[in-house]
């Protein structure tokens, strides 16, 4: 039985050096999801996570980042993102499963894999809990525009300034802008921030949008997956397979919904992310003002989607408006 894709899979791809949303953003996604869980999903989450994570998806959401650099889990690093080989600076943004995840080593296949595993009762409780924690994290990752973008290593190689500190564009979106916003407007509290976004979903500005966020909520509808056919595709596939054990990864067929979510996030690379003015502080001024509403909504959206996803798995329907 596979652990992850394959328990012994080697680390065969360069991973993004940043962690999408940072701890604050990921915890926000988890806390939002927790607020919308249906009874069976809630029971599974609380039983699986236990007191270690205060029975909540919020604290558990950072686990996947905390283990990705360890020897035991370094194989998981490529599953935090998909390198969309598009052209955001020319206004052409897109994510393609066959182009960007032909070897099956990306977040699209990872979400499909752990969706299957979390519901697989033949697995041990430990294995299913691990699957839950990966889903908790990856549904956050896929909402970060630079985790669905290949240009300049998802912005990691683009120098930036945030709050007077030297950083890079990826880290600015991961942590700089979200944490500046949380500190300035929510007393530095992730819980307060998450509760505010939950209120927007239930009764505020997001109420009319929330149903559209989960219009794609099938945990079984797949994309048609084709085998590599061109010389370049075959070479790439071979390069990412160290031995026959990793061939099992190709059996994971990406689901439709993660691609939909990735494409939505990726669109912001063209509309907002790469519109910065070189030399400016991106955690203040017009760029910051444009980014905050997007980040707020992406975190709210992915938290709501995580709840819907788990509800469908365990309760048979989204149980959400």
Query: Does 167 score more than 90 pLDDT?
Result: yes
The H-or-E segment that residue 118 falls in is helix 107-118
Q: What angle do CA 192, 268, 270 make, to 5 degrees?
A: 155
Check 68, 117, 241, 305 and give the catalytic one: 68
The 10 Å Cβ neighbour count of residue 251 is 12
Active-site annotation holds for 137: yes
Proportion of the chain above pLDDT 70, given as a percent: 85
Mean pLDDT of 108-125: 97
Distance of CA 317 to the CA centre of its chain: 22
Distance of CA 229 to the CA centre of its chain: 29
Q: Tell me what pLDDT residue 6 has.
A: 33
Active-site annotation holds for 315: no
Active-site annotation holds for 21: yes
Q: Tell me what pLDDT residue 224 has.
A: 60
222: tokens are 């797949």
Mean pLDDT of 68-90: 97
Q: Tell me what pLDDT residue 251 has.
A: 58
Choice among 104-113, 214-223, 238-247, 300-309 with the minimum mean pLDDT: 238-247
17 band by pLDDT with thresholds 50, 70 and 90: very low
Active-site annotation holds for 174: yes
Check 117, 128, 147, 305 and give the catalytic one: 147
Check 83, 86, 100, 174 and give the catalytic one: 174
Q: How confident is the model over 222-248, as pLDDT tens digits?
A: 876 544 444 444 444 444 333 323 334
Domains and CATH numbers, the chain: 22-314 (1.10.575.10)
Query: Does 283 score more than 50 pLDDT?
Result: yes
Active-site annotation holds for 80: yes
Query: Does 55 score more than 50 pLDDT?
Result: yes
Q: Tell me what pLDDT residue 226 has.
A: 46
Beta strands in the chain (DSSP E): 159-162, 165-168
Choice among 63-77, 224-238, 257-271, 284-298 with the minimum mean pLDDT: 224-238
Mean pLDDT of 165-184: 98
Active-site annotation holds for 240: no
Check 83, 141, 281, 296 and give the catalytic one: 141
Q: Tell me what pLDDT residue 248 has.
A: 40
Between residues 19 and 167, the one the model is more confident about? 167
Partner residues linked to 165 by β-bridges: 162
Query: Does 262 score more than 70 pLDDT?
Result: yes
Q: Tell me what pLDDT residue 288 has.
A: 98
Active-site annotation holds for 141: yes
Check 137, 200, 240, 241 and give the catalytic one: 137
Mean pLDDT of 40-57: 98
Check 117, 170, 200, 305 and give the catalytic one: 170
Active-site annotation holds for 26: yes
What single-letter DSSP state applies at residue 96? Answer: -
Check 63, 75, 80, 241 and give the catalytic one: 80
pTM above 0.75, yes or no: yes
128: tokens are 């299913």
């Amino acid at each position: 039985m596979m652990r992850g894709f394959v328990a012994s899979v080697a680390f065969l791809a360069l991973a993004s050096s940043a962690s999408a949303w940072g701890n604050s953003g990921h915890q926000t996604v988890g806390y939002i999801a927790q607020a919308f869980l249906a009874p069976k999903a809630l029971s599974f989450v609380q039983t699986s996570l236990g007191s270690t994570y205060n029975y909540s998806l919020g604290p558990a959401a950072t686990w996947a980042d905390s283990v990705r650099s360890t020897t035991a889990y370094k194989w998981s690093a490529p599953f935090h993102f998909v390198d969309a080989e598009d052209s955001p600076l020319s206004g052409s943004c897109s994510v393609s499963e066959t182009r960007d995840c032909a070897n099956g080593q990306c977040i699209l296949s990872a979400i499909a894999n752990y969706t299957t595993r979390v519901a697989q009762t033949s697995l041990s409780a430990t294995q299913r809990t691990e699957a839950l924690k990966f889903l908790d994290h990856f549904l956050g990752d896929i909402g970060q525009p630079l985790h669905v973008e290949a240009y300049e290593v998802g912005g990691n190689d683009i120098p930036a300034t945030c709050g007077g500190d030297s950083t890079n564009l990826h880290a600015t979106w991961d942590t700089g802008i979200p944490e500046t916003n949380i500190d300035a407007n929510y007393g530095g509290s992730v819980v307060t921030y998450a509760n505010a976004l939950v209120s927007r979903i239930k009764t505020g500005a997001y109420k009319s949008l929330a149903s559209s966020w989960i219009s794609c909520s099938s945990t079984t509808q797949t994309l048609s997956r084709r085998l590599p056919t061109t010389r370049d595709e075959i070479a790439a596939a071979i390069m990412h397979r160290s031995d026959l054990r990793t061939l099992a990864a190709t059996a994971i067929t990406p689901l439709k919904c993660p691609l939909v979510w990735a494409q939505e996030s990726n669109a912001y690379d063209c509309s907002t992310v790469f519109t910065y003015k070189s030399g400016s502080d991106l955690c203040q001024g017009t760029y910051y003002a444009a980014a905050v509403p997007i980040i707020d909504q992406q975190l709210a959206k992915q938290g709501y989607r995580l709840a819907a996803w788990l509800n469908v798995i365990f309760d048979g329907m989204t149980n959400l408006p």
